[in-house]
Amino acid sequence: MQGAGETKHSIASAMILMACASSMFPVSDVIAKYLVRDYHAIQVTWARYLFQLIILAAALGGPRVLQRFVTQRLKLQLLRGVLTVMATILFIAALRTTPVVDGIALLFTSPLFVVALSVPFLGERVGFHRWAAVLVGFTGVLLVLRPGDGVIQWGALLALSSAACVGVFDIVTRILSRTDHPITTLLYMAVTGFLILSAAVPFFWTEPTLEAWFLFALAGLISSFAHYGVITAIRWAPLSAVAPFTYAQIMSATMMGYLVFGDIPGEWTVVGLAIIIGSGLYVLHRERRVAAKAAAQ
């Protein structure tokens, strides 16, 4: 009985941790949205990776950093790092003209991309229910974008492109989780992103003020804690149990967007967001059922 109680406590703790960690991402995104008004998205992204890498190296210590570079899937680790850079740059660029909550609403289509791309990438069979959820979810996307209404912006399309990158990124992460430690994957993400962006950032450089350096460091710190919290939550409990709590980002994004920029989601954004979240939760529900059925056989 004690073991069962400990398991329940661990899962409950993981759910709380996932909600708290997920709520931290919009805080970092709001800082990025503030910074991107004066600095290029590539410079803002580079600074985030720089401070993530510094924090990660300090947390692991010198010799342990080198030990964590051991991987059985070097090409996939590098691919994941490139995808992360692309997704981050696209999303930060989107924030220049897109409210934070709208951007995150579109970013939450990534589970739908995972379903669509799991067929060619993972060879998985996707049934009618999950395909229907994907179609319904993209109906919600159309409500957020509102094509033909004169409201659609490039920022929204950039956010949707970022979600597509995150979808492929999640598939690669799923493959890597079979062989590599989560810290190894996080370290490769930080190093790959930093090296790629270090080659590009001189072409987009604007000398930062002391305030900007402080905000760069703060965004990197918050993002690092958020990533570590998500990884820890997944280690404490099954992904299917904690994944729904990533939607805590929506509340955090809405609150931060309003407090800092005075952004209030429009009614169509709210409706579209509800559809996207509902379809994403249904996909998680179906994946849990499929996994349970496969385990029972």
Q: What is the pLDDT of residues 212-261, one digit of tens each?
A: 999 999 998 898 888 778 777 877 776 666 767 777 787 788 888 888 87
CB 135 within 8 A of CB 191: no
CB 36 within 8 A of CB 212: no
pTM of this prediction exceeds 0.85 = no
* Percent of the chain that is helix, strand, coil (3-state, to 5): 85, 0, 15
Distances 141 to 93, 107, 135, 147 between C-alpha atoms, Å? 19, 10, 10, 10
Question: What is the per-residue pLDDT for 1?
Answer: 40
Question: What is the per-residue pLDDT for 39?
Answer: 94
Strand, helix or coil for residue 150? coil
Question: What is the per-residue pLDDT for 294?
Answer: 60
Give the whole-angstrom CA distance, residue 258 versus residue 254.
6
Domains of the chain by residue range: 2-296
Give the whole-angstrom CA distance, residue 15 versus residue 2.
20
Sign of CA dihedral 206, 219, 80, 243: negative
Question: What is the per-residue pLDDT for 200?
Answer: 93
Q: How many residues would you count in the chain?
A: 297
Q: What is the pLDDT of residues 15-34, one digit of tens each?
A: 888 888 888 988 998 999 89
Amino acid at 175: I
User: What is the DSSP secondary structure assignment for residue 149, as one 8-state letter?
Assistant: T
Question: What is the per-residue pLDDT for 10?
Answer: 72
Nearest to 247, CA basis, from 287, 282, 290: 282
Q: Report residues of the chain scoring pLDDT below 50.
A: 1-7, 151
Question: What is the per-residue pLDDT for 5?
Answer: 41
Question: What is the per-residue pLDDT for 190?
Answer: 86
